[in-house]
């Protein structure tokens, strides 16, 4: 078994030395985490190697080196980089997910290139993947890939991790490709985020855009489930915490401390990005110096900005703005002995970065939006018996775990300024106490734990999906059912109607049987060994009108009425519905557009198929709460079915009707097919050797599953042939 990690970039650098290219691994957090996974697996990595190699004679040699290190390259052309990476990924998805919708730029070629490159990644994966492998897709550049892979390899284990925020539905819905992106992700068994809010936003988008059923953290597709979960990414804690044990880093930090003079240090480290809130942070520092003159010459801000995407206009503009602000602050406040802002627009070596974390009195992490933010965790981890205060934006995913930081609203300059003052005044013991509490979390929830937890859960979901997949009627288990059918003499076949024999319609009265269905049912009934019964929640008048001419049994209103020998029988005496219950239901209908009430002889049904999903959830809870007392007083049952809430008599279910039917004869073949929770009552009530088939969403209580309603008819056709 292999673990195949797929990310936009391979974690390596290709460097040129004496006219020869060399592949050098440059492991980030993710590769470290995977290296220390508890279960040892063979790891392969697929991604863009970071350079164009079209006309390069060294390509073969590089490919060889990559293959030796188990890297599969996906080479991208400059056009693909422009349209897929800088275009759709970084000029559409990145601003959208960080709530900068005004920065979205749409290029004509972007979406096509995004699809094309996701397909290239799929092709590359298919070349190395084998049954039983685990695929872990990383991040927003590859949101279509899980589905592309699933379509080709239905049984493979696929996980997806989204490293950036997932925006609220209200924002996400504005994206023209919203449906395709969500469907792309649902190709995975497990879709994961850093925090529960991103997870909630994703589920709400799936619910509303794709109108799929979600059961808390589980999205139910017809043939399998997709788990959604939050796994806050951690860091390689030991690497940071032990940095100071390295004599070189220790020396470096002493030197750096000396070179900054006596001033206390505030540190910020980011990639150049508008989501990181760098200009507002500078305004906060300026305001701090302006309003707290006592701290001038006593505190400096060390600001590292790692160059990123600066060929894109918005980033170049941001860089200019930062340059100007730093110039303005230094110009105004600097003295001969003191520089207010030390600004570096280039990356630092790990050793220098660790030394800076070590000597900084305050870390200023104030992104406007950030999926997680690892810098905050790295700062906390690097401290070894030194004090330090973390000022952290409430908009960073890390703020959920690091509640002992000074949490600020990053758009509130005064809050940032006040936090700076509070941090500078904070007694050392209090700083240590807070740091220790945060270290406890960062050291436990480290990147190794993160990767292990993700893979463990992915395996569990795959197992669950394998079990569900094993129930789907395919050739082999169909042959077994057919064999039993053919060799039996006395068969009982109980069929649900809506969602099983007929597709759901917006208006229930439109679901009348087609000619084909009527023919199929009469063919089924023609066999003298077959007793065919339609068991439905519908009223007897409709069933009689639609199916009454066929030589089959009918059971209406979940078995409260049944037709045998051409006559209807009733299991109950006349019911007069309680006014209080009807009033509650009618009140719900008034307040819920597109819902309606159906009054049957044995049940009151509130239908909400066409109601907005969120409102429906709210009303279902409110309605059930309101019904509990009057229904329990009258010994009535409240039941939640497929987009309905139903009040009915306790002892009448499709289960009790199934038992009645079974007891009528000595059957050697019993089969029940249905799509709803009410049909599960009959699956449970039938003898153990009965063939029970759930249509649509798979179920734990049926033996088999037929994923879609139309397939049910094919199944029955093949069975009688
Ligand atoms: C995305 C999400 C999420 C920065 N400058 C230097 C340097 N760095 C290192 C830091 C840190 C990493 O880069 C930055 O990670 P962040 O998490 O802060 O942010 P993004 O790059 O935006 O990452 C983010 C992350 O994915 C993981 O899921 O947390 O929210 O946006 O490790 O140390 N490293 C060195 N020199 C530098 O100058 N050596």
Task: Ligand 1: list residues with CB < 6 Å.
Answer: 163-164, 233, 269, 271, 304, 306, 347-348, 350, 353, 370-375, 378
Stretch 130-140: mean pLDDT: 96
Asked if the model's pLDDT at residue 681 lies above 70, the reply is yes
Stretch 593-620: mean pLDDT: 90
Q: Which residues are catalytic?
A: 496
Asked if the model's pLDDT at residue 410 lies above 80, the reply is yes
Distance CA 706, CA 700 (A): 13
Show the tokens assigned to 645: 């809430």
- Ligand 1, atom 10, residue with closest C-alpha: 375
> How many A from CA of 28 to the centre of ligand 1?
9
Show the tokens assigned to 460: 């569990």
Stretch 529-556: mean pLDDT: 95
> How many A from CA of 373 to the centre of ligand 1?
7
Query: What is the share, in percent, of the chain residues with pLDDT greater than 70?
Result: 98
> How many A from CA of 269 to the centre of ligand 1?
8
Stretch 571-579: mean pLDDT: 81
Stretch 152-169: mean pLDDT: 97
Single out the residue of 162, 8, 151, 147 nearest to residue 80, CA to CA: 8
Asked if the model's pLDDT at residue 266 lies above 80, the reply is yes
Where does the pLDDT of residue 162 fall: very low under 50, low under 70, confident under 90, or very high at 90 and above? very high
Where does the pLDDT of residue 35 fall: very low under 50, low under 70, confident under 90, or very high at 90 and above? low
> Inter-axis angle of helices 350-359 and 247-259, to 10 degrees?
60
- Ligand 1, atom 18, residue with closest C-alpha: 373
Question: Are 708 and 696 a contacting pair, CB within 8 Å?
Answer: yes
Work out the widest C-alpha separation in the chain, in whole angstroms: 106
Asked if the model's pLDDT at residue 336 lies above 90, the reply is yes
What is residue 670's DSSP assignment? E
Confidence (pLDDT) at 54: 66
Mean pLDDT of the chain: 93
Residue 378 CA: nearest ligand 1 atom is 33
Stretch 127-148: mean pLDDT: 97
Residue 370 CA: nearest ligand 1 atom is 30
Enumerate the H helices of 592-708 as residue ranges: 613-633, 654-662, 677-685
Question: Are 235 and 27 a contacting pair, CB within 8 Å?
Answer: no
Stretch 145-151: mean pLDDT: 98
Confidence (pLDDT) at 634: 86
Asked if the model's pLDDT at residue 677 lies above 70, the reply is yes
- Ligand 1, atom 21, residue with closest C-alpha: 271
What is residue 276's DSSP assignment? G
Residue 344 CA: nearest ligand 1 atom is 38
Is the alpha carbon torsion for 125, 128, 134, 138 positive or negative? negative
Residue 235 CA: nearest ligand 1 atom is 32
Distance CA 209, CA 614 (A): 12
Asked if the model's pLDDT at residue 657 lies above 70, the reply is yes
Distance CA 207, CA 476 (A): 34
Q: Which helix (H) or strand (E) holds 691?
A: strand 691-695
Taking CA atoms, 637 is separated from 213, 334, 550, 633, 646, in Å, by 24, 77, 32, 10, 8
Residue that is written with structure tokens 């190699």 in the block: 53
Distance CA 564, CA 421 (A): 85
Which strand ranges, in their side-by-side order, compose the sheet holding 225-230? 71-73, 42-48, 2-9, 134-138, 157-161, 190-193, 225-230, 218-220, 213-215
Name the least confident of 113-117, 369-373, 507-511, 554-558: 507-511
> How many A from CA of 310 to the centre of ligand 1?
17
Confidence (pLDDT) at 697: 83
- Ligand 1, atom 39, residue with closest C-alpha: 350
**Candidates 3.90.950.20, 3.40.50.300, 3.40.50.620, 3.40.50.2000; correct CATH number of 237-437?**
3.40.50.2000
Where does the pLDDT of residue 200 fall: very low under 50, low under 70, confident under 90, or very high at 90 and above? very high
Confidence (pLDDT) at 656: 93
Which of 357, 373, 398 has most ligand 1 atoms within 8 Å of its beta carbon, as the pocket-test mutant? Answer: 373
Name the least confident of 119-128, 172-181, 359-368, 644-653: 644-653
Distance CA 713, CA 517 (A): 8
Q: Which string of DSSP letters, residue by residue, matches 365-399?
A: E--SSBSS-HHHHHHHHH-SS---EEEEETTBTHH
Which of 374, 381, 442, 454 has most ligand 1 atoms within 8 Å of its beta carbon, as the pocket-test mutant? Answer: 374
Tens-place pLDDT, residues 466-488? 988 899 999 999 999 999 999 99
> How many A from CA of 125 to the centre of ligand 1?
27
- List, in order, residues 6 or more apart from 306 with CB less than 8 Å away: 269, 270, 271, 272, 346, 347
Asked if the model's pLDDT at residue 669 lies above 80, the reply is yes
> How many A from CA of 376 to the centre of ligand 1?
10
Is the alpha carbon torsion for 229, 232, 236, 241 positive or negative? negative
**Residue, of 233 and 51, whose pLDDT is higher:** 233
**Residue, of 603 and 293, whose pLDDT is higher:** 293
Taking CA atoms, 75 is separated from 27, 117, 123, in Å, by 20, 10, 12
Question: Are 113 and 78 a contacting pair, CB within 8 Å?
Answer: no
Domain 470-571+653-720 matching CATH 3.40.50.1000: the answer reads yes
Asked if the model's pLDDT at residue 215 lies above 90, the reply is no
> How many A from CA of 682 to the centre of ligand 1?
55
Asked if the model's pLDDT at residue 59 lies above 90, the reply is no
Stated length of the chain: 721
Single out the residue of 291, 303, 293, 284 nearest to residue 341, CA to CA: 303
Single out the residue of 446, 530, 364 nearest to residue 36, CA to CA: 446
Distance CA 495, CA 523 (A): 14
Stretch 325-330: mean pLDDT: 98
Residue 233 CA: nearest ligand 1 atom is 28
Q: Do domains 470-571+653-720 and 579-648 have the same CATH topology?
A: no
Confidence (pLDDT) at 545: 96
Taking CA atoms, 2 is separated from 155, 280, 451, 579, in Å, by 15, 46, 15, 64
**Residue, of 333 and 698, whose pLDDT is higher:** 333
- Ligand 1, atom 23, residue with closest C-alpha: 373
Where does the pLDDT of residue 56 fall: very low under 50, low under 70, confident under 90, or very high at 90 and above? low
Confidence (pLDDT) at 553: 95
Which of 239, 372, 400, 402 has most ligand 1 atoms within 8 Å of its beta carbon, as the pocket-test mutant? Answer: 372
CATH architecture of 2-230: 3-Layer(aba) Sandwich (3.40)
Q: Which helix (H) or strand (E) holds 256?
A: helix 247-259
Confidence (pLDDT) at 220: 87
Asked if the model's pLDDT at residue 52 lies above 90, the reply is no
Residue that is written with structure tokens 């009348």 in the block: 512
Question: Are 592 and 619 a contacting pair, CB within 8 Å?
Answer: yes
Which of 234, 243, 271 has most ligand 1 atoms within 8 Å of its beta carbon, as the pocket-test mutant? Answer: 271
**Residue, of 686 and 40, whose pLDDT is higher:** 686
Distance CA 220, CA 215 (A): 7
Domain boundaries, the chain: 2-230, 237-437, 470-571+653-720, 579-648
Strand 530-535 to 362-365 pairing: unpaired
Distance CA 419, CA 427 (A): 14
Asked if the model's pLDDT at residue 385 lies above 90, the reply is no
> Inter-axis angle of helices 709-720 and 475-487, to 10 degrees?
40
Under CATH, what is the fold of the domain 579-648? Hypothetical Protein Ta0175; Chain: A, domain 2 (3.90.1070)
Residue that is written with structure tokens 């469907």 in the block: 183
Confidence (pLDDT) at 544: 95
- Tell me the chain's radius of gyration from C-alpha atoms: 32
């Amino acid at each position: 078994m292999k673990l195949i990690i797929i990310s936009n970039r391979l974690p390596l650098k290709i460097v040129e030395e004496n006219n020869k290219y060399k592949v050098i691994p440059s492991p980030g957090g993710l590769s470290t985490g995977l290296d220390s996974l508890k279960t040892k697996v063979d790891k392969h990595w697929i991604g863009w190697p970071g350079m164009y190699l079209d006309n390069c004679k060294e390509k073969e040699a590089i490919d060889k080196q990559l293959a030796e290190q188990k890297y599969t390259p996906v080479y991208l052309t400059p056009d693909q980089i422009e349209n897929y990476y800088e275009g759709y990924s970084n000029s559409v998805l990145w601003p959208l997910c960080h709530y900068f919708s005004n920065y979205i730029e749409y290029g004509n070629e972007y979406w096509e290139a995004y699809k094309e490159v996701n397909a290239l990644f799929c092709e590359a994966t298919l070349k190395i993947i084998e049954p039983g492998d685990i695929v872990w897709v990383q991040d927003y550049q590859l949101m279509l890939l899980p589905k592309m892979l699933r379509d080709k390899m239905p049984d493979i284990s696929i996980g997806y991790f989204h490293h950036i925020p997932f925006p609220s539905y209200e924002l996400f819905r504005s994206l023209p490709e919203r449906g395709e992106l969500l469907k792309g992700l649902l190709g995975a068994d497990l879709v994961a985020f850093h925090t529960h809010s991103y997870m909630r936003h994703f589920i709400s988008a799936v619910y509303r855009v794709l109108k799929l059923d979600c059961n808390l953290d589980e999205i139910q597709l017809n043939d399998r489930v997709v788990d959604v979960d939050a796994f806050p990414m951690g860091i390689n804690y030991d690497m940071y915490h032990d940095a100071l044990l390295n004599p070189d880093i220790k020396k470096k930090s002493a030197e750096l401390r000396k070179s900054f003079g006596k001033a206390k240090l505030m540190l910020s480290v980011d990639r150049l990005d508008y989501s990181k809130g760098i200009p507002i942070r500078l305004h906060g520092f300026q305001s701090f110096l302006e309003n707290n003159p006592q701290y001038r010459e006593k505190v400096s801000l060390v600001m590292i900005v790692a160059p990123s995407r600066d060929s894109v206009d918005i980033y170049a503009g941001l860089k200019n703005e930062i340059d100007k602000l730093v110039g303005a602050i230094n110009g105004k406040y600097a003295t001969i002995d003191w520089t207010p802002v030390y600004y570096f627009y280039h990356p630092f070596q790990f050793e220098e970065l660790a030394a800076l974390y070590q000597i900084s009195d305050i870390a200023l992490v104030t992104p406007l939006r950030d999926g997680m933010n690892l810098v905050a965790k790295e700062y906390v981890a690097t401290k070894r018996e030194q004090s330090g205060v973390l000022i952290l934006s409430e908009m960073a995913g890390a703020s959920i775990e690091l509640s002992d930081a000074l949490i600020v609203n990053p758009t509130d300059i005064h809050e940032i300024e006040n936090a700076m003052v509070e941090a500078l005044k904070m007694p050392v013991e209090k700083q240590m106490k807070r740091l220790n509490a945060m270290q406890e979390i960062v050291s436990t929830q480290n990147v190794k734990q993160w990767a292990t937890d993700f893979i463990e859960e992915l395996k569990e979901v795959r197992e669950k999906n394998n079990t569900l997949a094993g129930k789907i009627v395919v050739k082999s288990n169909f042959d077994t059912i057919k064999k039993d059918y053919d060799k039996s003499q006395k068969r009982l076949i109980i069929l649900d109607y809506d969602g099983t024999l007929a597709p759901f319609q917006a208006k229930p009265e439109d679901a009348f049987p087609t000619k084909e269905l009527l023919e199929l049912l009469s063919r089924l009934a023609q066999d003298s060994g077959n007793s065919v019964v339609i068991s439905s929640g519908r009223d007897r008048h409709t069933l009689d009108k639609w199916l009454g001419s066929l030589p089959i049994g009918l059971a209406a209103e979940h078995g409260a009425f049944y037709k045998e020998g051409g006559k209807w029988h009733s299991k109950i005496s006349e019911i007069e519905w309680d006014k209080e219950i009807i009033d509650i239901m009618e009140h719900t209908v008034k307040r819920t557009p597109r819902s309606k009430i159906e009054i049957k002889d044995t049940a009151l049904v509130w239908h909400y198929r066409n109601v907005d999903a969120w409102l429906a959830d709210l009303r279902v809870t409110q309605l059930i709460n309101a019904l509990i007392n009057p229904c329990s007083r009258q010994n009535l049952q409240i039941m939640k079915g497929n987009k309905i809430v139903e009040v009915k008599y306790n002892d009448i279910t499709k289960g009790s009707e199934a038992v009645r039917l079974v007891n009528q004869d000595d059957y050697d073949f019993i089969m029940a097919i249905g799509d709803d929770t009410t049909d599960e009552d009959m699956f449970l009530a039938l003898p153990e050797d009965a063939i029970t088939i759930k249509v649509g969403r798979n179920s734990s209580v049926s033996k088999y599953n037929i994923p879609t309603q139309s397939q049910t008819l094919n199944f029955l056709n093949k069975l009688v042939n």
